[in-house]
Structure 1
């Protein structure tokens, strides 16, 4: 690209630009640097003149002819390889990359199916997605790639077909995975392919427009107040507080165990935190039972965890917090209905889990006569796109609503 600069002894800007003068032994373009006065005193005027000088000089030098000769040499090489039977996907891509570099100055960016999905995972990690989300994305990508042969994984991204995604979806269904898990897997792959589409790496997204897998949704049961009391009494250490939080705030397990004391305002009896699922800031009033529990705890510093023994631990998995809660339920003699899943990988599901405390919280509010809109505000379901900012009147209304839940 042309540039301009002042020269000693002259008031005018001089233009500097390159013109092609031939082709080197390896097919590369050979250039010559030229300098010429623009006879302009202002920078902007000089740049306009410099670009015009460069365009005219390149036209006279036959830049188009030089590029045409370079293209012809590449095509002749490709033809020679084709006759020898050595033209394959890799060499064809290399030839195309050389043509692109001559045409626009940049080599062709190409991805295999595997390299693109791994590139996308790295991109998602770089934009501060939560660790749990990245683990889920990685699991889906690895599972999908394992359904492909090594040859297909090394094939160009643009060759990925809907049939391969259908086969992946079918395999997940036959393994007994829930409809939610199956649909999330396809959605994850579609997100990666949409990104490739945005960058012009593929022409269409083969995962777009997939029909969602449907199944009869398992209805979650709720805990009765007496059962919640029994769970609290059976639990030990931080789990007592975690269970109280689940029942009296409706928070999800991961959000509760991730709390620090900076989230808590005991004096005003309010809790402020960012919901990990929605990335939305929520404010929840504290029930007197929760406030009493917090006042009995040691608060080393604002940055300290409210529940240090479970803070930062995974909620899922064999040694996860959900499994620990299931053990507390079993020790308390409480069990829900077991729904047996089909397939090899499908999990049997219980109608009572820690998440049932969230439903129990909503149910307790409803039983106390709290309007649906107020319940939605407290649980964060009213508007998933904006942060809630409450007036003093709003806060008092919500606090009064939570206080209606009976103590256990």
Structure 2
């Protein structure tokens, strides 16, 4: 059994116990309270005995440290497994983030826990830089540099919360660098030509024609358009009102005449909360919504002869994973997001000021901050009238 002794000119008790190799050890407990010092000494001897028997695994070592912490601080050592903490953390984000961001956090947590494998059941303080790098690189192999870096960013937020809660000594994700894209890999998105847009519309279903026209005449993101309902439309005043999912910005956009003409052909619902685009709204409500909607649009590009078909899982290369994408996703120069670039370019080419164009699209710009506090609907309506007809 361990014992205690005092040394001259030291206020602390020293623990006397046998090391794992049988040698006698003396170590300061840094405690002046004899009861606490003896408790620590007994835990050190317990650890040494387990080590001598080749039985001191991670779980036993953490138990010893936990007991010493409780003896010293009169309270249990805060702890949580990686799975428990990250799962709870992701669920709490539903209360303070937009649904799109919440779903993204949940997806990153699910993927990271899957990457950890059995290590997900260990204490969250055991997550290492190597774990983060492994996860980041796994994301890169099946998606893009941008997605891998965004996943790393979200993981930094999650592990930062664990650090603030006192569950970890540091944020392992903050030690991992984002991936830098080589100059030869950079591909700038470009606007559509009017001919390309007409080719896409010719191959689109009725619902997708509506999504594309809304994208062109409002410059909004695909997920925001897919989530529009009839109550977002004020047909009497001919405006669209909604809150963006990514930034939470309140938008009011005049309905351009060609878009209004299309809306009048759409099957209306008696329920104001009914979605304008039922099929896409259903997809937008599910997991990986952005990816699935973007893939649907990419299929339209393929049908219009503007992109090459992507290889799917059934055509995996030999040695590729048995699930997920078989290779890293390449960034195409045109996508649904290009409709934002198209609208912006056409508006500016038509002489519309940057401030008005950016307000319609939903970007904050220096021009707006410097000269405007509010862009009148009349000015935006006049600007949108300069966009060409697509049909």
Normalising by structure 2, report the TM-score: 0.72
Once the two structures are superposed, the pairs formed by residues 9-20 of structure 1 within 5 Å of their partners are: none
Q: Does 1:180 align with 2:146?
A: yes
CA contact (8 A) 2:98 2:246 kept: no
State the alpha-carbon separation in 1 of the partners of residues 291 and 244 from structure 2.
23
Q: Which runs of 5+ in 1 are unaligned?
A: 1-63
Deviation at 1:172, TM superposition (A): 4.5
Cα RMSD between the aligned structures? 3.7
Deviates more, 1:319-328 or 1:292-301: 319-328
CA contact (8 A) 1:337 1:352 kept: no
Larger Rg belongs to: 1
2:357 paired residue among 344, 369, 375: 375
Q: Which has the higher contact order (CA 8 A, sep 6+)?
A: 2
State the alpha-carbon separation in 2 of the partners of residues 123 and 256 from structure 1.
26
2:264 paired residue among 276, 290, 295: 295
State the alpha-carbon separation in 2 of the partners of residues 172 and 276 from structure 1.
24
Deviation at 1:76, TM superposition (A): 5.8
Q: Does 1:206 align with 2:172?
A: yes
Aligned match of 1:157:
124
SS in 2 for 1:140: helix
State the alpha-carbon separation in 1 of the partners of residues 245 and 280 from structure 2.
16
1:279 paired residue among 240, 248, 270: 248
1:140 paired residue among 108, 120, 137: 108
Report Cα offsets for 1:93-144 as digits up to 9, x if no partner: 33444455555554222234444433433333454552x5444434434444
Q: Does 1:267 align with 2:236?
A: yes
1:335 paired residue among 295, 299, 306: 306
Q: Which runs of 5+ in 2 are unaligned?
A: 1-32, 312-316, 321-325
Deviation at 1:399, TM superposition (A): 1.5
2:133 paired residue among 147, 150, 166: 166
State the alpha-carbon separation in 1 of the partners of residues 154 and 296 from structure 2.
29
Aligned match of 2:22:
none
Q: Does 1:394 align with 2:363?
A: no
Aligned match of 1:357:
339
CA spacing shift, 1:66–1:154, aligned 2, 3 Å: same
State the alpha-carbon separation in 2 of the partners of residues 319 and 394 from structure 1.
35
Aligned residues: 338
Deviation at 1:401, TM superposition (A): 0.9
SS in 2 for 1:208: helix
Deviation at 1:286, TM superposition (A): 1.4
CA spacing shift, 1:320–1:145, aligned 2, 3 Å: closer
State the alpha-carbon separation in 1 of the partners of residues 306 and 109 from structure 2.
35
CA contact (8 A) 1:241 1:293 kept: yes
CA spacing shift, 1:197–1:372, aligned 2, 3 Å: same
Normalising by structure 1, report the TM-score: 0.69
CA spacing shift, 1:301–1:177, aligned 2, 3 Å: closer
Deviates more, 1:356-365 or 1:219-228: 219-228
Once the two structures are superposed, the pairs formed by residues 124-139 of structure 1 within 5 Å of their partners are: 124-125=93-94, 127=96, 129-130=98-99, 132-139=100-107
State the alpha-carbon separation in 2 of the partners of residues 339 and 185 from structure 1.
23
State the alpha-carbon separation in 1 of the partners of residues 189 and 309 from structure 2.
11
CA spacing shift, 1:98–1:305, aligned 2, 3 Å: same
Deviation at 1:291, TM superposition (A): 1.9
Aligned match of 1:245:
214
CA contact (8 A) 2:298 2:307 kept: no
State the alpha-carbon separation in 1 of the partners of residues 383 and 279 from structure 2.
31
State the alpha-carbon separation in 2 of the partners of residues 368 and 338 from structure 1.
35
Report Cα offsets for 1:67-104 as digits up to 9, x if no partner: 56655665565565455554443234334444555555
SS in 1 for 2:89: helix
CA contact (8 A) 1:339 1:349 kept: no
